[in-house]
Amino acid sequence: MSCSEPEGRGGDPQQTGVVFNIQRFSIEDGPGIRTTVFMKGCPMRCVWCHNPEGIAFERQLMWFDVRCIGARDCLEACPNGALELGRSGMTIDRERCDACGRCADACPARALELVGKDYTPHEAFQEVYRDEAFYRNSGGGVTVSGGEPSMQPRFVAELLRLSKEAGLHTALDTCGFASGTVLEKLLESADMVLLDLKHMDPAKHLELTGVELEPVLENARMVSSSGRPVWVRTPVVPGCTDSAENIASIGRFIAEELPSVERWDLLAFNNTCGSKYSRLDMTWELEGVPLLSAEAMEALAEKARAAGVPEVCWSGTTRSS
């Protein structure tokens, strides 16, 4: 896959963006209390992705078995005959489903949900601005995340611009695999950047994320040279990214080439997303992979601190022994 500028989604301030979640009171996506706008669509295919609903650009239907009361209104509502409810649950024919949402509207138990909603930049901004007082009191603001926000550059640029114009602190959360030109444009209205660095071995990076490493490193250098404060984030996934060698190698890269990095977050692997995969008819490849221990995370954090990055933090659920 290349990381050239995406076509299509763009044009003017009325350009809609496909958003899969607007999360208020977030405290993990930058400083203070924030609202995080999650954009749909990502060029990476990380095997550990815990937001699989953010990968595809298109809207998708999800069925929640625990909510289903077997009312069957959805089957009648579907104009394409895309649903089948049997003993083993709901089957969604995704070839036939055009994500019209009629089944979700018809379901009295809200067992079907469409993931992905169109917003204009102004509509998204209005959602974000509701919590302005919380941002002001906590040093927070808005973070645009994903998926990968640079996949919908004109919407995101306008949302960041509106937010900044209103005096909100703005953060861009990127996986780094993007057109450098697009990222530069988005940086114009971003006060800071959250940047993922996952693996420093090019072959492993390709195997684990589906994309080349070098464009990510190039963009990391560009973002840092823009002078924007950067928080690097590394998902620590057993058997994938959790070797001391990988952490030391990321640390060396940050210390030697990314002078504007203020903080490095190590995010412990989370295995609670299996149900999301099944609701999307996707395969969760890390089924049964155990959580890391707090001791293992602390040891990796020590390794990271040894690289000389100003602040290293780790977070996430860990197993008790």
Q: Report the C-alpha dihedral over residues 133, 152, 4, 161, rounded to 10 degrees.
A: -40
**Minimum CB–partner distance for residue 198 and ligand SF4 (Å):** 8
Quick check: 44 binds ligand SF4 (CB under 6 A)? yes
Q: CA 107, 111, 116: angle at the middle one, nearest 5?
A: 95
Indicate whether 101 belongs to the interface with ligand SF4 (CB under 6 A).
Answer: yes
* Chosen residue from 3, 18, 33, 46 binding ligand SF4 by CB under 6 A: 46
Residues comprising the chain, all counted = 321
3, 37, 97, 186: which one binds ligand SF4 (CB under 6 A): 97
Which of 19, 42, 151, 187 forms a contact with ligand SF4 (CB under 6 A)?
42
Residue 77 makes contact with ligand SF4 by CB under 6 A: yes
Give me the phi and psi of 317, to 5 degrees please: -80, 140
Please state the closest distance from residue 279 (CB atom) to ligand SF4, in A: 13
Indicate which single residue of 26, 32, 71, 102 sits in contact with ligand SF4 (rule: CB under 6 A).
102
* # chain residues binding ligand SF4, by CB under 6 A: 26
**Is 187 a binder of ligand SF4 (CB under 6 A)?**
no
80 binds ligand SF4 (CB under 6 A): yes
We find the least distance from the C-beta atom of residue 46 to ligand SF4, in angstroms, to be 3
Question: What is the rounded CA–CA span in Å between residue 162 and residue 129?
Answer: 10
Of 111, 51, 127, which Cα lies nearest the Cα of 77? 111
Angle at 15 between CA 216 and CA 30, to 5 degrees: 45
Reading phi first (left if > 0) and then psi (alpha if -120 to 50, else beta), residue 11 is in left
Are 106 and 76 spatial neighbours (Cβ–Cβ below 8 Å)? yes
Query: Is 100 one of the binding residues for ligand SF4 (CB under 6 A)?
Result: yes
Q: Which two tokens stand for residue 240?
A: 């994938």
What minimum distance in Å lies between the beta carbon of 70 and ligand SF4? 16
Comparing CB distances to ligand SF4, the nearer of 83 and 183 is 83
